[in-house]
Structure 1
Amino acid sequence: MSSIEINNFTYHHDEVELQGYMAQPSRYPRAGILIVPTIAGPTKIMYDRARWLASLGYAAMVCDIYGQGQIDDTQVARQMASALREDAEYYRDRFRCALDELRTRSKLANERIAAIGYCMGGEIVLEMARSGEDIALVVSFHGLLATPLPAKRGTIKSRILVCHGRADPLVSPKQVRAFLEEMDIAGADCHMHIYSGVVHGFTDPGSDTSPMDVVKYNESADRQSKAAMLSMFEELF
């Protein structure tokens, strides 16, 4: 088994300096995986997931959202997220830059790329798919599903996996129905796994210490959603 190489670096979107974290095997990786974090930005659990994916043979990069690393104040993070979302195309373009960094800095000998995201990151990877990014797969874990720019017929090139908690108060049943209708209209290859009784933040054990009632870790949903992702990876890569 090859060893894992870790690299911290900076990259830019326009004038904004962003921080990247790459974990990859010392030999050629099977594929490149962009990890888009939650509204709080890159945290320890995201770095842990990058190293875990690297141990499985993937080049995994954790991208930045705001250019300020981890944001511990939830209210500040919400304000920054709201400001970033104001221009939908600029929002999407920030993460095109991250995809470019993954392609450049990984040891990939191919163009096999996936993007996975959590919470706000799930929303972001779905925006990547909607914008027609030429990547194999996007995976959203407890991500937001609404968009100001719905996908048009034939635009989506990526396969899509959405892992969603049925009791997530941040994503209404109406939003789920609108998303599925959007995917049908777009002709997308979309899989949606729904976990009954599960709320937001179900992949993060730290959710249980959050003061917010809307988030809670669920061991079964975490395990099943990871298994679904890895199954898609095996199929594609």
Structure 2
Amino acid sequence: MSSIEIQNFTYHHGDVELAGYIAQPSRYPRAGILIVPTIAGPNKLMRDRARWLASLGYSAMVCDIYGQGFVEDMHIARKLADELRADAQYYRERFRCALEELRSRSRLSNRRIGAIGYCMGGEAVLEMARSGEDLALVVSFHGLLATPLPAERGTVKARILVCHGRADPLVPPEQVRSFLEEMDVSEADCHMHIYSGVVHGFTDPASDARSLEAVKYNASADRQSKAAMLSMFDEIFEHKKTPDQQ
């Protein structure tokens, strides 16, 4: 059985230096998974999830967003996010660089890559899909669904899974309707799971400490959304026996 190896490293988007974290089995990963964190950037929870995915056989990389690591002050994080989103193509390129870094650092013997994201990270992985990145799957957890550059017919290569809280005030019903219409027009293969009564940030146990009505942890939605993701992983990244398992 393969051990898990961890690496911290830096990579670049133009002249912006970014910090990456990768956890992967020492041999024969099933696929590579890019993890895009929330608006605050990479934190311990995201690194924990990378190690968890590595324990399941995946090369999992947590990417950076601003080149400043975790941004604890939410006012600063929102300002940085607005600046990054101001140029939609540049925003997409920030994460395209992360995908290339995952491809170069993972021990994959294939090109099977997926991307998962949380909140702003969910928005980012959907932007990857819209732009036609060569991905097998993207998964958005309580991600924002609006975009300035809707997908065009035939451009989306990735399968899409969206896990959404029905009561999320940051993603109102009209945004959900517009997103689903966009998916229909683009002919994307999209699954959407909706959790009744659930608000934003439902996968993060620390959400309740923020004392915000819009952001709360929900253990059931967290568990069910993880299960949905792993089910899609099993469907798309078919597990094949490695030489040491045969």
TM-score under structure 2 length normalisation: 0.96
Q: Which residue of 1 aligns with 2:95?
A: 95
Match of 2:54 in 1: 54
The CA distance in 2 between the partners of 1:154 and 1:133, in whole Å, is 12
The CA deviation at 1:40 is: 0.4
SS at match of 1:199: coil
1:178 paired with 2:142, answer no
Alignment of 1:45-194 (within 5 A): 45-194=45-194
SS in 2 for 1:212: coil
Give the Cα separation in 1 of the matches to 2:213 and 2:193: 23
Q: Percent identity?
A: 79
1:196 paired to 2:193: no
3-state SS in 2 of match to 1:183: helix
Stretches of structure 2 that go unaligned for 5 or more consecutive residues are 238-246
Residue 226 of structure 1 is matched in structure 2 by: 226
Residue 212 of structure 1: CA displacement?
Answer: 2.2
Partner Cα distance (2:152, 2:233) in 1 = 26
Other structure's SS at 1:161 match:
strand
Segments ≥4 residues shifted beyond 3 Å: none
Unaligned runs of 5+ residues in structure 1 are none
Aligned to 1:52, the other structure's residue is in SS state helix
Give the 3-state SS of the residue equivalent to 1:99 in structure 2: helix
Distance 1:21 1:142 in 2: 23
Cα deviation, 1:41-99, whole Å, max 9, x if unaligned, reads 00100000000000000000000000000000001000000000000000000000000
Instruction: Give the CA deviation at 1:18.
Output: 0.1
How many residue pairs were aligned?
Answer: 237
Amino acid corresponding to residue 104 of structure 2 in structure 1: T
Cα distance in 1 for partners of 2:184, 2:176 equals 12
- TM-score using structure 1 length: 0.99
The CA distance in 2 between the partners of 1:174 and 1:154, in whole Å, is: 24
Write out per-residue CA displacement over residues 147-172 of structure 1, whole angstroms, 9 at most, x where no aligned residue. 00000000100000000000000000
Cα RMSD for the two superposed structures: 0.4
Structure 1 CA distance for aligned equivalents of residues 93 and 72 of structure 2: 25
